[in-house]
Amino acid sequence: MTIEEKVGQLLMVHFHGKMANQDSKQLIQNLKVGGIIYYTWANELSCPHQVQNLSLGLQKQTHKNRLNIPLLIAVDQEGGVVSRLQYGFTDFPGNWAIGRTNNPLLAQQSAYALGQELKAVGINMNLAPVIDINTSSHHPIIGIRSFGSDPYTVSLFADYTLRGYQQAQMIATLKHFPGHGDACIDSHCHLPSLQKSQKELESTDLLPFKKLAQDVEVIMTAHLLVPALDPKRCSTLSEPTLTYLRENLNFQGVILSDSLSMQAIAESCPSFEEAAIQALQAGCDMLLLGGKSLLESHSMLEFSLSDIQRIHHALVYAVKVGRISEQRLNQAVERILNLKKRYLSISQTKKLSIQQHVTTLDHQKIAQCIASTALQITSGDPTCLNSVHHKQLVVLAPQLLAQNIKNASLLELSQKTQSWFYDLAPSYHDISAAQYLTEQADLALIFCYNAWKYEAQAALIQAVLDLGKPVILVSTRDPIDSSLFPHTYLTLTTFSPSLFSMQAVYKLLAGECK
C-alpha cells in the first residue's frame, strides 16, 4: 500500500447524501477512506430500503479501487436517546432502562436483535455500547446512556451486550475510554477534567474497560483531561493514557478516537490537522471525522470534504517527513485490516432482500419487555390510576416526545383529552397555555425531558403544580427530574423516551398492567 492508501484507511468520515454520490466517490476512490459513519441529518436514513441502498452504493464504489478494501460502515445506534435509525427499525430503550431490568439476558437479546437489523442494511459496525458509569447524578452528561451508577452492574450488562453483538457478527465499540460518567462538562462543548487518583479510577471508571478490553474489537477514546494518567494532554491525544489501555488492560484491538470535531479537541490543539497527527502519534488507530459541533456559536461546524482532504494531506506529509513513523502508521493500518478481514467480506456488499421494515415481532417483544420492566412508580399513590379514563385530561410534553406519545395512544387515555407540546425550553406563552388548559382539566399528565437542565421547562411544570390540580409526572430521561417535583399525584420514571417506554406508560395508566 502507498502511504496515501494507508492514511486513508485511518479515516472514518461522514458525507451528505441519501445515496452514494460524487462526494462519497471522492472520499472512497481518491482518499481511500477506511470507514463511513451515518447521521440522520447527513444521510436521511428514512427507511431500511434507503439505508441498504446507501450501504450497497458505497461498497460498490470501493470496487474500483486498486486494492478493493471494503468499508467499515458505522452508526451510533445505542438505543434510547442515541438512535440514528428509527423508521422501520426497532426503537429499543437505552442502557439505563436495560440495567433497570436486572436481567442481563435482555441486554444480550436486544444487542443481537439490533445487530441483525444493522447487518440487514449493510452496516457492519455499531459505536456502542456506552460503558461510562453515571456516577455524577447532579451532572448527568452521560445520564441514561449508561447502564447504571455501579461499575460492576455496568460491566455485567456490557458483557452480555457484547455477547449479543458477537452473536450477530456485528463489530461493537466500547466507549468512552477512560470514562466520561463522572465529568461535569460535556466534551462536545469544552474539555472536561476528571480529578481522581489512579487507584480511584481503577475501582470505578476503568473497571468495565479492564473487565472487557480483551473481549471487544474496538474501543473509543474520550476527550477528557485525566491528570492521574496524563496531567497535560486530553486522553485522545495522550500517549501515556493509550499506552495504559494497551499495556495495563492488554487491549489488542483498534483504538478509535471520538469525533475530532468536538470542542474539547478544538481547545486542545491549534488545528484539526494537528489534532489528527497528535491522536495518531498517541496511539489512536482510526480517527473519527464525523458529526457536528453542539455549541450554538459553532452549530454549523462539521468536517467538509475539503477539511478531510487537508487532514489526509497533513497526515501523509507528517509520515513523509518523519514526524509520524511509518512503523506507527503500519501498526494502525494492520489492526484495521485485520478487523475487516475478520468481519467483512465482498459477499456482504451484495444486495439482500428485505422488506420496508427490518424490525420483527420478536424484536418488538424484547423492547416491550425492557420498557415495561424498567418503568418505575417513583412516588405517589397508584390507586389514583383507577379513574383516569373518566377524567378530563390535559397532556403536556416537550415537542420531541409528541410523536411517541401520540403513537402510544396516550392522547386516548381519556374520553376528553387536550394536549400542548412545547420546546425543551418553553416560552412564557407555553407556560400560560399549560396553566390555562390545566385549569379546565381534572388531571394533568406532564412529561418531562431533562427539566434539571432546562430552567424554563422546570418553571412550566412548577407553574402547573402550583395550581393545586392533580398531576401525574412522567420523567422520560435523566432520573434526577423525578426528585425535582416532590408534590405530584403520581411520578413515573421510564429511563427512556422510546416508543415502547411510552406504551408502557399507557398500559399502566390504562390499567392494562399492574
Q: What pTM was computed for the model?
A: 0.94
SS3 397: strand
The C-alpha atoms of residue 224 and residue 265 are separated, in whole angstroms, by 9
Question: Class for domain 10-349, per CATH?
Answer: alpha beta
SS3 237: helix
Crossing angle (nearest 10°) for helices 428-440 and 455-465: 20
Sequence-distant (6+) residues with CB within 8 A of 507 are: 372, 513
CA 440 to the chain's CA centroid: 40
The C-alpha atoms of residue 154 and residue 77 are separated, in whole angstroms, by 18
pLDDT tens string 370-428: 999 999 998 887 776 667 888 899 999 999 999 999 999 999 999 899 999 999 999 99
From the list 180, 343, 167, the residue with the least C-alpha distance to 253 is 343
Instruction: Kindly list the catalytic residues.
Output: 188, 258
DSSP state of 247: I
In DSSP notation, 418-473 reads EEEEE-SS--HHHHHHHHHHHHH-SEEEEEESSTTT-HHHHHHHHHHHTTT--EEE
Instruction: Spell out a b/e string for 249-284, using b for 16 or more CB atoms within 10 Å of the CB, else e.
Output: bebebbbbbbbbbbbbbbebbeebbbbbbbbbbbbb
For 160, the grid coordinates are 452480555
SS3 77: strand
**CATH architecture, range 375-509:** 3-Layer(aba) Sandwich (3.40)
The C-alpha atoms of residue 190 and residue 292 are separated, in whole angstroms, by 14
Q: What pLDDT is attached to residue 356?
A: 67
Provide CATH 3.40.50.1700 ranges for the chain: 375-509
Ordered per-residue pLDDT tens for the chain, 514 residues: 999 999 999 999 999 999 999 999 999 999 999 999 999 999 999 999 999 999 999 999 999 999 999 999 999 999 999 999 999 999 999 999 999 999 999 999 999 999 999 999 999 999 999 999 998 766 668 899 999 999 999 999 999 999 999 999 999 999 999 998 776 666 566 677 888 999 999 999 999 999 999 999 999 999 999 999 999 999 999 999 999 999 999 999 999 999 998 887 888 888 999 999 999 999 999 999 988 755 444 555 689 999 999 999 999 999 999 999 999 999 999 999 999 999 997 445 455 556 568 999 999 999 999 999 999 998 887 776 667 888 899 999 999 999 999 999 999 999 899 999 999 999 999 999 999 999 999 999 999 999 999 999 999 999 999 999 999 999 999 999 999 999 898 999 999 999 999 999 999 998 875 4
Provide CATH 3.20.20.300 ranges for the chain: 10-349
Q: What pLDDT is attached to residue 232?
A: 94
Asked whether 58 and 455 are in contact (CB, 8 A), the reply is no
Task: Report how far apart, in Å, the C-alpha atoms of 185 and of each of 146, 224, 256, 279 are.
Answer: 16, 10, 21, 21
